[in-house]
């Protein structure tokens, strides 16, 4: 069984002295998966509908039927409905993270639909302090990232405002 590589979200910043990748780091609050799921349940056919459901079934194996039963017990009526919170969310964690739908992957890089995502707020504040709010935003597979080569001054400025989680991601996305 092989699944798509994981995706990363970042801003590609032209510092004038080299490119730098500034990460957007999810705070794992689970709010987007509680309120903005892309997963539909069809009660008439007893099916979960999402773009890559076959892959999700393969990933979960027999556990898939626990999720199906749980969502089926909550949905009333006979019409297909968008299910929120997402049926694959448990204790604020995505239980199908390595095979989550493509539609989940770029969130919240291009907007948070007014849910006040703490990761997006922090990312935008960081770009503002670094004076690069209009930098290109990138969502790509981790093994396709073109690493940045920021100048020492840029790295110093970033390290002075980032927390330890962001610094870890910054190191993974840049060489110097
Ligand atoms: S709302 Fe933002 S910080 Fe919270 S889980 Fe979603 S992407 Fe991560
Ligand atoms: S599949 Fe995972 S990432 Fe997507 S909404 Fe559900 S819990 Fe969130």
The candidate with the shortest Cα–Cα distance to 147, out of 20, 24, 25, is 20
Ligand showing the shortest atom-to-Cα distance for residue 123: 1
Which of 4, 32, 48, 89 for a ligand 2 pocket mutation test, highest count of atoms within 8 Å of Cβ? Answer: 89
Residue 104 Cβ contacting ligand 1 at under 6 Å: no
Nearest CA to ligand 2 atom 4: 104
Q: Which pLDDT value is given to residue 17?
A: 87
Per-residue pLDDT reduced to its tens digit, 79-112 = 999 999 999 999 999 999 999 999 999 999 999 9
Residue 37 Cβ contacting ligand 2 at under 6 Å: yes
Q: Rounded to two decimals, what is the model's pTM? A: 0.91
Give dist(CA 88, CA 67) in Å, integer: 7
Answer whether residue 161 shows pLDDT above 70: yes
Per-residue pLDDT reduced to its tens digit, 50-70 = 999 999 999 999 999 999 999
Q: Which pLDDT value is given to residue 16?
A: 87
Residues 23-37 have a mean pLDDT of 95
Q: Which pLDDT value is given to residue 1?
A: 64
Give dist(CA 105, CA 83) in Å, integer: 18
> At 171, phi and psi to the nearest 5?
-60, -35
Q: Which pLDDT value is given to residue 25?
A: 96
Alpha-carbon dihedral 76, 77, 81, 85, rounded to 10 degrees: -10
């Amino acid at each position: 069984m092989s699944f798509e590589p994981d995706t990363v979200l970042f801003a590609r910043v032209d510092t004038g002295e080299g490119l730098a990748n500034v990460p957007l780091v999810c705070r794992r609050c689970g709010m987007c998966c509680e309120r903005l799921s892309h997963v539909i349940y069809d009660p008439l056919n007893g099916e979960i509908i999402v773009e890559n459901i076959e892959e999700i079934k393969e990933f979960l194996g027999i556990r898939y039927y626990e999720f199906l039963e749980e969502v089926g017990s909550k949905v009333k009526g006979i019409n297909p409905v968008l299910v929120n919170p997402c049926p694959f969310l448990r204790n604020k964690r995505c239980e199908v993270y390595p095979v989550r739908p493509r539609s989940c992957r770029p969130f919240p890089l291009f907007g948070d639909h007014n849910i006040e995502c703490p990761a997006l707020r922090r990312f935008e504040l960081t770009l503002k302090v670094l004076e690069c709010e209009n930098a290109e935003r990138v969502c790509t597979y981790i093994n396709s990232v073109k690493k940045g080569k920021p100048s020492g001054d840029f790295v110093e400025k970033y390290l002075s405002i980032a927390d330890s989680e962001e610094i870890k991601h910054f190191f993974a996305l840049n060489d110097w």
